[in-house]
Amino acid sequence: MFSESPIKRRKSTRINVGNVPIGDGAPIAVQSMTNTDTMDIDATVAQIQAIQDAGADIVRVSVPTMDAAEAFKSIKEQVSIPLVADIHFDYRIALKVAKYGVDCLRINPGNIGSEERIRAVVDSAREHNIPIRIGVNGGSLERDLQEKYGEPTPEALLESAMRHVDILRRLDFDQFKISVKASDVFLAVGAYRLLAKEIDQPLHLGITEAGGMRSGSVKSAVGLGMLLAEGIGDTLRVSLAADPVQEIKVGFDILKSLRIRSRGINFIACPSCSRQEFDVVSTMNQLEERLEDIIEPVSVSVIGCVVNGPGEALVSDIGLAGANRRSGLYINGERQKARIDNNNIVDQLEGYVRDFIDQKQQQTPIDIKIVE
C-alpha cells in the first residue's frame, strides 16, 4: 500500500529529453551512464539495453572523440531509450552528435571553452531541438574559480553554473537543465540549495564519484535524500563504481523510500532475532531475486514473529507474520484464513505476490489459495 508522498516539489520549467519530460511536475527521471568503451558498439548497445530493462528513463554515453561520435551514431540507431551525449573539451563533438539524433547534450563549463564555442553548441541544439545539461563538477571547476575560492565550495559551484546560465539567457536559450555535483555530500547539497533559489530550470541531481556499491549507495541516499525531501530535483543519477544496472535499482529505491516514485516491490523485512519462526534473511534474499522482474508497485512485509508482524502486515499489500510452523498471511491489510507453511515460504509467498499483481491488473478480487 503506497500512500502519497508529503513532499512538495520545487516548481520548475519543462524540457523534454527525447520522449521523457523533465521538470514541471513530471515524474523524477532515473538515469545511468554506460561504462563500456563507446567504440565497442555491440558492448555499449548491450549495456544500454540492460540499463533500460532495469527501468532507466535516460542513459548517458561518453563521447570523448570524433571517432566515438561516429560510433555513437550507430549506437543511437540501435536503441530506443533517450541518450545523452557526455561532451568534454572538444565542442565540435557536440556539433557532430547533434546531427546524429542525440536527445540531450551534456557540457562541462570547466572545460568546454569560450563563450563562442558555447554559442556554437547552443545554435546546433536549437537547430535540432535538443536540450542541454550544464554539468558543473567540483573536481573540474574553472581555474579562476579555483583561485578565487581556494577549494570547491557551494558558492564556487553556483558561480560556475550561473556564468553559463547567463550565457544561455543572453542567447535566448531556455531548454536546459543543470547539475552541480560534488563527491562531498554537504558540498553538493549546499550547491543545489543555492542553485534552486536562483533559477527555475530543472535540476539533475547526483553525488559524483560517490564510491563503490555499498559506500556509494549510502552516500547517494543521504545526499539525494536530503534534497529530494526538500522538493529539489527533477532527474537523478546514483554514481557508483559498479554495474550501471545497480545505479538504476538504487535510484528507484531512494525514490521509493520517499514515496516519490515507485517501481517494483517495496519490501519491509525485520533484521531477525531469536524470536524468528523462519529464516528471514534467506527468505528475503530469495524473494528479492525471484521477484526482481516485477515492475508493479507492491508492498510486501516479511516479519519473522508476531511482535511487529501483524502491525506491518496491516499496512502492506501482502504481509507475512511469523508463527509456529505456519505463518499468518495478510492481503490488503486483512488476515486470511490460509496460512503459509514455514517450510515452503518462498514458493508460496511468491505465488501470492504474483497472483495479487495479476488480480490487481484485472481489478478483480484475489483468489486465496495455497500454492503447492
In order of their start, the domains of the chain are 15-257 (3.20.20.20), 265-362 (3.30.413.10)
**Residue-level pLDDT, tens digit, the chain, 372 residues:** 656 789 999 999 999 999 999 999 999 999 999 999 999 999 999 999 999 999 999 999 999 999 999 999 999 999 999 999 999 999 999 999 999 999 999 998 778 888 899 999 999 999 999 999 999 999 999 999 999 999 999 999 999 999 999 999 999 999 999 999 999 999 999 999 999 999 999 999 999 987 899 999 999 999 999 999 999 999 999 999 999 999 999 999 999 999 999 899 999 999 999 999 999 999 999 999 999 999 999 999 999 999 999 999 999 999 999 999 999 999 999 999 999 999 999 999 999 999 999 998 887 555 444 433
What are the grid coordinates assigned to 5, written together? 508522498
Give the chain's end-to-end CA distance (angstroms, integer): 26
Would you tell me how many other CB atoms lie within 10 Å of the CB of residue 108? 19
- Quote the pLDDT of residue 370: 40
Q: Which residues contact 59 (CB under 8 A, 6 or more apart)?
A: 31, 32, 33, 34, 48, 51, 52, 79, 81, 82, 83, 84
Task: Determine contact, residues 9/230, Cβ cutoff 8 Å.
Answer: no
* Mean pLDDT, rounded, of the chain: 94
Burial (0-12, 13-18, 19+ Cβ within 10 Å), 366: middle
Q: Which residues contact 226 (CB under 8 A, 6 or more apart)?
A: 185, 189
Tens digits of per-residue pLDDT, 144-199?
A: 999 999 999 999 999 999 999 999 999 999 999 999 999 999 999 999 999 999 99
- Quote the pLDDT of residue 290: 97
- Quote the pLDDT of residue 4: 79
Spell out the alpha helix ranges (H) of the chain. Answer: 41-53, 66-78, 91-99, 115-127, 143-149, 154-170, 185-198, 213-229, 244-257, 280-290, 309-314, 345-362
- Quote the pLDDT of residue 80: 98
- Quote the pLDDT of residue 365: 53
- Quote the pLDDT of residue 5: 86
- Quote the pLDDT of residue 161: 96
- Quote the pLDDT of residue 113: 83
